[in-house]
Amino acid sequence: MSAAAIGIWGIVALFVLLAIRIPVAFAMFVVGFAGIAILNGFNSAMSLLASEAFTLGSSPELVVVPLFILMGNVASATGMSRQLYDAAYAVIGSVRGGLASATVIGCGGFAALSGSSVASALTMGKVALSEMDRYKYDPRLSTGVVAAGGTLGILIPPSTGFVIYAILTEQSIGRLFLAGVFPGILLLSLFVLAVTAICWIRPEFGPAGPRTTLAEKLRAVAGAGPIAGVIIVTIGGIYGGFFSPVEAAAVGAGIVILIGAVTGKLGLAALWAAAKDSVVTTATVMLILIAAHMINPFLALSHIPSAVGGFITGLELPVLGVLVLILAIYLVLGCFLEGFAMLVLTLPIFFPIVTDMGIDPIWFGVLCVLALEMGLISPPVGLNVFIVKSVAPKVPLSDIFRGVILFWVMMLVTLAILIAFPQISLFLPTTMFG
């Protein structure tokens, strides 16, 4: 059997394992290890496993993952995520659809702490869904806005999606974080526009909330001041060149823990629980990365990436055509594959094509991560939809999927805008790094 045929059978086996709900990391590890053993010998597979696991485990760049995850977990445990929502609610909650818009803004703020879409959807779902239910919001809007707003966690820095992309492609984590700032703000703004449009067309979907006085608004905004300060210090510190991403993560986590301790909202039990959750999440990310470094050499040995690259190049499409084709493939795969699995499987194939055609790898990273975001609310997988379903068990799954349709369209619009205007993504990295 040829190397290419073994590679194809390996990919088929991987899809089968994923279909029967084997965890992504273990499925990729089994296929990658077995493929290398068949193509290059068992000793080669064992040697690669030992060397890659040690190399990744000792990589200082990856320290950013547990620190930013810890920052988000502590912020959630101390109620800081609630303060973000309360501030947005106080300012715009009294307008039609204001609670839903406040939820989007709260998701954006929490995303800038946790870097996790699942954590954003779960946390803001617990905070906001009961409020929107109390004011008789249509369940399609309330659940849809939480599922879609949660996806901001993978685009607005710090983002674990950017970290994994950076590790797999050997790009700068700091540049990728900065590249996600303006696209994240753009997408958040379009989500708020979508809420406004829905409530303008169907006023009963999002009734106005109670009015608040100027003093109440100021008090709520001041309450969110500390957490806003953490966001400014971490992201601003990276942009200003004061911190590396790892140092920014450490400073942010330290400040959040200090705030929780000083205000008395973070006890030892809560800190232990947040640290334990951070370890579990970090271990998951590390397993995926180790598995990625097993399956990527297998794909290379099978010559599948070069064959696919040759096929796409042979189509003689312009650069923009190739980019759109790759992103279209991501959108289709997003309906069936978990986001990190998509990155690991496709980047060895697509990234050499992207670099050979002169496409900026940082710009492509933003587009790639945005496409992963869309998969989080695309049926039938739609991980964020199932997260929201767990928080709102009485709402039918079909209603949640209907609720995210307009937000998915807004993500597609954002993708088109970022393709048309690359400088939206590249302005901050360019001004910082030259």
Taking CA atoms, 94 is separated from 83, 86, 146, 162, 164, in Å, by 17, 12, 19, 36, 40
* R_g of the chain, CA atoms, integer Å: 22
Q: Is the predicted pLDDT of residue 420 greater than 80, yes or no? A: yes
DSSP state of 395: S
Domain map (residue ranges) of the chain: 1-58+291-302, 59-266+303-433
Distances (CA, A) of 351 to 184, 304, 305, 330, 389: 23, 13, 10, 13, 35
Q: CA nearest 161: which of 363, 339, 352, 377?
A: 339
Single-letter code of the amino acid located at 234: T
Q: Quick check: 48 pLDDT over 90?
A: no
Among 85-99, 157-171, 311-325, 408-422, the range with the most confident prediction by mean pLDDT is 408-422
Question: Average pLDDT, stretch 96-104?
Answer: 87
Range 20-45 average pLDDT: 85
Cα(338)–Cα(195) distance, integer angstroms: 27
Question: What pLDDT, on the 0 to 100 scale, is given for residue 183?
Answer: 94
Give exposure, 65-76, as e/b (b: 16+ Cβ within 10 Å): bbbbbbbbbbbb
How many CB atoms neighbour CB 279 within 10 A? 13
Alpha carbon distances (Å) from 404 to 136, 185, 218, 370, 378 = 18, 19, 32, 15, 9
Q: Under 8 Å CB-to-CB from 292, ≥6 apart: which residues?
A: 28, 164, 168, 343, 344
Closest CA to 278 of 114, 126, 156: 114
* Residue closest to 173 by CA, chosen among 254, 244, 117, 251: 244
Summarised one tens digit per residue, pLDDT across range 102-161 is 889 888 888 777 777 777 787 788 778 888 888 889 999 999 999 998 888 888 888 888
Mean pLDDT of 175-184: 92
Q: What pLDDT digit, counting tens, does each position of 196-220 carry?
A: 999 999 988 988 777 888 888 888 8
Residue 26 tokens, joined:
């273990």
CB of 156 closer than 8 Å to CB of 108? yes
Quickly list H helices, 157-243: 160-169, 173-179, 181-201, 214-223, 225-240
- Report the C-alpha gap between 31 and 161 in whole angstroms: 23
| Mean confidence (pLDDT) of the chain | 85
Q: Cα separation of 120 and 98, whole Å?
A: 19
Confidence of residue 370 (pLDDT cuts 50, 70, 90): very high
Q: Work out the average pLDDT over 406-433.
A: 91
Per-residue model confidence (pLDDT) at position 141: 92
Q: Is 306 a residue whose pLDDT tops 70?
A: yes
Which of 379, 351, 315 lies closest to 147 in space, CA to CA?
379
Q: Do residues 360 and 422 touch, judged by C-beta distance below 8 A?
A: yes
Q: Where are the alpha helices (DSSP H) in 213-318?
A: 214-223, 225-240, 245-263, 268-302, 304-314
Under 8 Å between Cβ of 56 and 98: no
CA distance 120 to 219: 24
